[in-house]
Amino acid sequence: MSIGYTVNTHQLSQTKLLVWRPDLPKERPLPVLYCTDGDMLQGIEPALTGLLTADSVAAASPCLLVGVYADDRDRDYTPWPAPAVFRGAAPFGGGASGHLQLITKQVLPFIQAQYRVMPGPQAAGIAGYSLGGLFAIYAAYASSAFGFAASMSGSMWFPRWLEYMGQNQPRAGGYYLSLGDTEEKTRHPVMSQVGTCALQAADILRQKVGDDAVTYRWERGDHFTGIPQRHAHMLRWFCRQQALLGHTSQ
């Protein structure tokens, strides 16, 4: 069983969207997964579309995938200002609150008006890669708009982030975290801690929402390996969560 996808682009006043819509009757409402780094998704669009089309889980419980672009990911995906971790890089801007407001106040209403989508946070997810993964978990803490959050190779090492997670209560009900199994094999003092930080983040979430609500997956390779496949694995997880809620193609 497989379902094809049509990919559309939309230009909003403050951002651009890349939307994968399953080739199903337009009147059929769908769950929605919002994903950071629309430009990254654009770059892997052919590979990702092929993986989705061939995925029986995605076909059984399909969703609308919305890639949201950012002007400055070092600003838009970070919850507060922090020094750069790489020599010569700009410091982190701490603009995640504003970018989250853009998504909840402009992107979500646009998608809800343009497409038939299921109502409520249980039919909505937020996902991201690297700093985008940090933003996705931040969004699950700072907003009640999303029932699910996914972080692929997320920047859980961000200064004071684990303390924030431990001191606050997340609002989403289900979480997915993944990391490449060689990402921490580096001499960089911060990047060498990515595995430890990712596991600590998962443990914090388990303490907050329960073991069954948190999925952790080890992927093969470093930070830049198999990005389309990692997105496909995450999307399969989201589709499975929707299937458990009865949101299937039947």
Domains and CATH numbers, the chain: 5-162+186-244 (3.40.50.1820)
Higher local confidence (pLDDT), 67 or 186: 67
Percentage of the residues of the chain whose pLDDT score is greater than 70: 99
Whole-number percent of the chain with pLDDT over 90: 87
For the chain, the helix, strand and coil percentages under 3-state DSSP, each to the nearest 5: 40, 20, 35
CA distances from 125 to 12, 24, 29, 42, 116 (A): 20, 20, 15, 19, 16
pLDDT tens-digit readout, 85-133: 888 888 999 999 999 999 999 999 999 999 999 999 999 999 999 999 9
Write the single-letter amino acid at 111.
I
pTM greater than 0.75: yes
The pLDDT, as a whole number, for residue 57 is 86
Q: For residues 29-40, give the mean pLDDT.
A: 96
Nearest to 153 by CA among 15, 17, 37: 37
CB 36 within 8 A of CB 139: no
Mean pLDDT value across residues 210-220: 98
Confidence of residue 59 (pLDDT cuts 50, 70, 90): confident
pLDDT band at 212 (very low <50, low <70, confident <90, very high): very high
- In this structure, are residues 216 and 32 in contact, taking their beta carbons and an 8 Å threshold? no
Q: Is the pLDDT at 250 greater than 60, yes or no?
A: no
- Of the pLDDT bands very low, low, confident and very high (cuts 50, 70, 90), residue 31 is very high
Residue 236: what pLDDT? 95
Whether the pLDDT of residue 248 is over 80: the answer is no
Question: Predicted confidence band at 249 (pLDDT cuts at 50, 70, 90)?
Answer: low
